Structures are given as structure tokens and as C-alpha cells.
Structure 1
């Protein structure tokens, strides 16, 4: 029996998909590194992108509300969509002011989250006590640092967070892509080994 050495089309497609995933990860890593070098530009870019997302989401929500105008949630949908559109316009027109407000909100979240983690870890003292304590202390310290230099910190904080998110997401995609291709290759090799004919006695 001859061994079919042609590659399985489904396996080849899966391998290509993982390759594209790794390529997307490389692009995100490069974008994150560029953003970390130019945090001011990254802050403005992320805020304008956020504003457009709010604006588009508000328009789509308004269209859905109009289509469902006979339902009980019509006016709620209209109000939410109008708020999204108004917030999107404000963020696009005044990205620096929006960045300052969002930085203040993020710093307060870090502070409250850090305090709750610290208190919770000290009260509960569970198996993850040390890690939760470190997380709480880091969040509290980060919130204090951002608030201490606010509003000047709003020029780089959002861009820094956004760039770090791109960087780590990209690294995760690269790891997933290369790991997936490796697993597909191992499965293919095992399948070919099983498909090899045994020598006749």
C-alpha cells in the first residue's frame, strides 16, 4: 500500500491560520513598542479611536432602537444611544480633556482595587495570600503615582496602558500561533507514522 504523502488540506489550512495569528501578534507587538516610544501620540490615538467606537456604537444602537420602536425598551435604547453619540463626539473633539478624565477614573480604580485586595488578602489569608497582597500593593502604588502627577500624567498614562495591552496581546498571539503550528506538526507526524504500512511477513 503506497503512503499518501500529500498534506491534509484541513491540516494545511489550520497551520496557515496559526501562522496568520502569529503574524498578527508580531504586528501588535511592533505597534505596542512604537506606542511605548511615543506615549503622547498613543494617548491621543487611543482616545480618538475610543471616541469613534462610541460614536459608531451609538449610531448602531439608535438604528436598532428605531427598528424596535414598538417594544418596551425603545426609549431606553434611544437614551443610551444618544449618550454614546454625545460621549463619542466629546471625546473626538476634546481628546486631551477626555484623556485627563479617563486617567483620573483609572487612577481611582487602581486605588480602590488595590485597597480592596490588600484588605481582602489580610482578612482572608487564603492560599493566594502573597500574590493577592502584591497585586493590591502594586495597584495602590500605581494609583497614587498617577494621581500625584495628574493632570500631566494624562498625557502618557492612557497611551502607556494601551501600548502595553497591545504588546502583551501580541506576545500572546505569537505564542498561540507558534504553539498551534507545533501541535499541528506533531499531530501530522503521528498520523503519518500510523498510516505507514507494516512490512509483510
Structure 2
């Protein structure tokens, strides 16, 4: 897909993109406002996704049973279904585990990023260093207030992601709208002006008709 084609599609559908962007932003605001509900809903949804993936794996195992590795796909498909059901049925303990894992990941990633940026000192390393420090502080705050942080952490992450993605779509729609205005203005500037002169009197109309007849013959 070329950049010109993509830009044209954005110009044609900027209104739809704007609507979807505002929808994502509204969902993000709702998720961050009700972070507890969003946390358990996200965990339950993750469980249903894992169940769907396990069912697909089992179906794939039966479809390709003549090609070998039938028991391999069947085993992992059944395991995914069991894990997905466990996650969907018990979102509270799984939210505790996922929150603890997320805090450990933030601390580890932030530590690596701060040390790497301070050691290499590549261009604009200060931004990367600051991001790493924020991840360290956030991960430390989450693990310090654990397990109480499990009731809002995942929902806050999901809501922030939806809000940022919606803002990105809104800016993309605004860019498409500006490009459409520029294209229409350029097309209007290239169009030759058409002026229609209305004859002021009957004599002028008759003279114009005589000139048209002479020009014709």
C-alpha cells in the first residue's frame, strides 16, 4: 500500500476516523474513571480470548490430523481452553497475578532503559532516561501498594491506552481534513473563471445573434 493511496483513503474517510477516535477516547475516559470495573472486565475478556484461541487450536488439530502433530495441537488447545476458563471465571486472583507481573515488568524495563541511556548517551537520551525513571517509579508504586493496586492498575492501563489511541485517530482525521481542504483549494484555483454577460438591451441581443450567425457561415 503506497503512501499516496493511504493519504487519499484518509482524506475520503476522515469523518469516520474522527468518529472512531472520539469513541475510543470516550471508552478510555470511562475505563479510567471506573478503573476497577475495567480491570475485571479486561481480565475476563482476556480469558474469553484465550478460550477462543484454544478452540481454534483444537479445530486446527482435527483439520490437520493426517499431517502429523495432532496430539501436540490438541494438547495445547485444550490447555489454552482450561486456562482461559480459569481466567474468565476467577478474574480477581488473576488480576492480582497480572498486576504483580506488570509491576515487575515495569521495574525491570525501567531499570534497563535508565542504565542503557545513561551509559550510551545517544542523541536525546534524556527522554529515554526520563521514561525509564517514570517506569521505575510507577512499577515501585504498584508493587508497594499491592494487592490493593490490583483493583485499578489494569483498568487504568487499558483506559490510558484507549485514550491515547483515540487521540491519535482524532489527529489523523484532522490531518486528513486539512489535506482535503488544501486539495480542494488547489483544484478551485486551477479552474478557469467563467463569466456570463447578459445583454443589456434588445439591440445588443440582436447584434450578438447576427455575429453568431456570421461566425457560423
**TM-score category, normalised to shorter length:** 0.7 to 0.9
> Does the 8 Å contact 1:19/1:178 carry over to 2?
no
> Displacement, 1:184?
2.1
Q: How far apart, CA to CA, are the structure 2 residues paired with 1:76 and 1:116?
A: 36
Q: Tell me, yes or no, if structure 1 residue 36 matches structure 2 residue 43.
A: no
Structure 1 residues 82 and 191, CA, compared in 2 at 3 Å: closer, same or farther? farther
Query: Which fold has the larger relative contact order, with Cα–Cα distance below 8 Å and residues 6 or more apart in sequence?
Result: 1
Task: Provide the residue aligned with 2:3 in structure 1.
Answer: none
Task: Provide the residue aligned with 2:192 in structure 1.
Answer: 197
- Higher mean C-alpha deviation, range 141-150 or range 118-127: 118-127
Task: Provide the residue aligned with 2:122 in structure 1.
Answer: 126
> Does the 8 Å contact 2:11/2:179 carry over to 1?
no
TM-score by length of 1: 0.85
Q: Tell me, yes or no, if structure 1 residue 149 matches structure 2 residue 145.
A: yes
Q: How much is the aligned-residue C-alpha RMSD, in angstroms?
A: 2.2
Q: Tell me, yes or no, if structure 1 residue 18 matches structure 2 residue 31.
A: no
> Does the 8 Å contact 2:87/2:94 carry over to 1?
yes
Task: Provide the residue aligned with 2:201 in structure 1.
Answer: none
For this pair of structures, how many residues does the alignment match? 188
TM-score by length of 2: 0.79
Q: How far apart, CA to CA, are the structure 1 residues paired with 2:10 and 2:144?
A: 50
> Displacement, 1:73?
4.3
2:82 partner SS? helix
Q: Tell me, yes or no, if structure 1 residue 172 matches structure 2 residue 168.
A: yes
Q: How far apart, CA to CA, are the structure 2 residues paired with 1:115 and 1:14?
A: 39
> Does the 8 Å contact 1:32/1:164 carry over to 2?
yes
> Does the 8 Å contact 1:48/1:95 carry over to 2?
yes
Q: Tell me, yes or no, if structure 1 residue 101 matches structure 2 residue 97.
A: yes
Q: Tell me, yes or no, if structure 1 residue 113 matches structure 2 residue 113.
A: no
Task: Provide the residue aligned with 1:53 in structure 2.
Answer: 49
Question: Which structure's CA Rg is the greater one?
Answer: 2
Aligned match for 2:179, one of 174, 177, 183 = 183
Q: Which runs of 5+ in 1 are unaligned?
A: 1-10
Q: Tell me, yes or no, if structure 1 residue 67 matches structure 2 residue 63.
A: yes
> Displacement, 1:48?
1.3
Q: How far apart, CA to CA, are the structure 2 residues paired with 1:168 and 1:160?
A: 12
Task: Provide the residue aligned with 1:6 in structure 2.
Answer: none
Q: Deviations over 1:28-59 (max 9, x none)?
A: 11111111111111111111111111111221
Task: Provide the residue aligned with 1:82 in structure 2.
Answer: 78
Q: How far apart, CA to CA, are the structure 2 residues paired with 1:88 and 1:132?
A: 36
